[in-house]
Amino acid sequence: MNRIILIETSTSLCSTALVEDGKVVSERISDEPRAHASKTALFVSEMLSDRGLKVSDCDAVAVSKGPGSYTGLRVGVSTAKGLCFGAGIPMISVGTLDTLVWQALDGNMLPEGCRFIIPMIDARRMEVYTGIFTPDGKQISQTVARIIDPDSFKEQLSEGPVLFIGDGAGKCKDTLTSPNARFIQCCPKAASMMHPALDALNAKRFEDVAYFEPFYLKEFITTVSKKKII
């Protein structure tokens, strides 16, 4: 029996799932603000406890590698590393954009005649982390940070319906006004990591638990408050 713990913390949603033999058998989700640090490990513990399992009963832990929230990714990866180190099981990483694409495919969200799936992770203002995928889930462009303007994805939209999905999709609705544009505003969920995680498990594509780092795409920038401290 293949059993994988899935952890998705790349956006405001904290999400975990447990997969057994190609089926999601347990899931936990919280949209509570800044809940990742307090909820992620707890959710995993609850899922396993409900089924009378230990971490060592699983074949691997799969975690979102990004891009996405710096803090969220750090929490997810740190949790996954702790579980893998403690139980002596391998770690798998899954791209956030891949998770969104599978969310669309598993949920039958594609519009009729869909030519492309373009997942979007919010990167503040009019910038998104994005890439271009075919309707069967194959990525055909690099993952990039892109500022959206009226000419963005003009070539893809000229070919037919395009699905924009993710927590960065909604804000682009007033800018990408082509009649071929379809928008689904949502966050990636751990359950939608199942297919790429199983592929990685079967191919034994594991990460180095000690040295793995999330794919931030952009460097985390800290700012210093201009307020005077008395």
How does pLDDT run across 130-142, given as a tens digit for each residue?
A: 999 999 999 999 9
How does pLDDT run across 8-60, given as a tens digit for each residue?
A: 999 999 999 999 999 999 999 999 988 899 999 999 999 999 999 999 999 99
**Same domain assignment for residues 86 and 134:** no
- pLDDT on residue 222: 43
Secondary structure (3-state) at 34: coil
Phi, psi angles (nearest 5°) of residue 91: -115, 140
- pLDDT on residue 186: 98
**Same domain assignment for residues 49 and 23:** yes
- pLDDT on residue 181: 98
Q: Calculate what percentage of the chain has a pLDDT beyond 70.
A: 95
pTM (whole model) above 0.85: yes
Is 208 contained in some domain?
A: no
Neighbouring C-beta atoms of residue 205, cutoff 10 Å: 13
How does pLDDT run across 167-177, given as a tens digit for each residue?
A: 999 999 999 99
Q: Tell me: pLDDT of 220 over 80.
A: no
**Same domain assignment for residues 28 and 83:** yes
- Least Cα distance to 162 among 140, 143, 136, 180 occurs for 180
- pLDDT on residue 217: 85
**Same domain assignment for residues 8 and 91:** yes
- pLDDT on residue 107: 96
**Same domain assignment for residues 101 and 90:** no
- pLDDT on residue 1: 81
**Same domain assignment for residues 103 and 176:** yes
Contacts of 95 (CB under 8 A, 6+ apart): 64, 65, 66, 143, 196, 215
**Same domain assignment for residues 108 and 144:** yes
**Same domain assignment for residues 63 and 124:** no
Q: Tell me: pLDDT of 226 over 80.
A: no
CA torsion sign for 141, 103, 87, 38 is positive
> Residue 84 and residue 89: Cα distance in Å, rounded?
5
**Same domain assignment for residues 83 and 73:** yes
Contacts of 118 (CB under 8 A, 6+ apart): 130, 131, 132, 133, 153, 156, 162, 163, 164, 165
Domain of 62, CATH number, reads 3.30.420.40
**Same domain assignment for residues 79 and 159:** no
Cis peptide before 67 (omega within 30 of 0): yes
**Same domain assignment for residues 60 and 126:** no
**Same domain assignment for residues 137 and 24:** no
- Could you please report the per-residue DSSP string of 164-214? EEETTTGGGTTT---TTEEEEE----GGGGHHHHHHHHHHT--B-TTT---
Q: Quickly list H helices, 24-137.
A: 36-50, 70-87, 96-106
Q: 168 with 120: CB under 8 angstroms?
A: yes
Q: Calculate what percentage of the chain has a pLDDT beyond 90.
A: 92
Domain of 162, CATH number, reads 3.30.420
| Average pLDDT rounded to a whole number, residues 66-84 | 97
